[in-house]
Amino acid sequence: MKLVSWNVNGLRACVKKGFLDYFEEVDADIFCIQETKLQDGQIDLALKGYYQYWNYALKKGYSGTAVFTKEKPLTVKYGVGDKDAEDEGRILTLEYPEFYVVNVYSPNSQRDLARLTFRLEWEQEMFIYLNQLEKIKPVIFCGDMNVAHQDIDIRNAKSNRGNSGFTIEERGKMSALLEMGFIDTYRHFSPNQEGAFTWWSYMSNVRERNIGWRIDYFLTSKALEPYLISAEIDAHILGSDHCPIVLAIELSRN
């Protein structure tokens, strides 16, 4: 089984930059996207063989998530806990017989950290939610998590320390998830790989010089570790300021 996660930074714009070519080429079983930046009826994607699930933000042109899946899920949830909806369209949970997929676009704490408190409260609520799901079945947790966890996950760690996405608090929340038992699948296979980034500023020559951050993740429950095959970063794929990440997992081994 192949899963893809990609912050497309505006799906309509990304479609004009080759999204569908990549979508067809990668042939994922489950394709998760973040930051769709659209409302219902603003795009018509003909994705043959896929069920489509969308969580739109109330604010136009903002946030939003979607999942395209070959297998119809048992249930779909738009929110956490007892909530059946959430205003910013950041969370989509699809339940399958063997596992859950939780696709998220984590809030950005903003350059002046004005939204850091909101971000940390959101993280805590997500932590509780994931723990609840894990008591039922294993979880694949993916998306743009808006945090570079370790120094190796960012090009200029020293100068960015304390900035949005690299604060002690945000990094600590990621550490807590891993201590809870989740696996950072990319680091599972490539623990010491430097220069492995998933986001680059649009500033001139930044991506060409690979001055980036790794802020997009596939995290899985510890119970899924024996079935992990590979975790890759498709850094050569353009169309957004993020690139896609790919997880291969085999859940039907004899």
User: Looking at the annotation, which residues are catalytic?
Assistant: 105, 144
Numbers of helices and strands, H then E, in the chain = 6, 14
Question: How far is 232 from 244, CA to CA, in rounded Å?
Answer: 9
Which letter does DSSP use for residue 210 in this model?
T
Could you tell me which residues are beta bridge partners of residue 2? Answer: 248
Pairwise CA distance, residues 191 & 179, whole Å: 16
In the numeric block, the tokens 């986001």 are attached to 199
Rounded Cα–Cα distance for residues 184 and 228 (Å): 11
Bridge partners, 93 (sequence order): 77, 102
DSSP string over 105-160: EPPP--TT-TTHHHHHHHHHHHHHHHHHHHTTS-EEEEEE-----SGGGBTTHHHH
Reduced to 3 states (helix: H, G, I; strand: E, B; else coil), residue 43 is: coil
Q: Are 246 and 26 in contact (CB under 8 A)?
A: yes
- CA–CA dist 186, 90 (Å, integer): 22
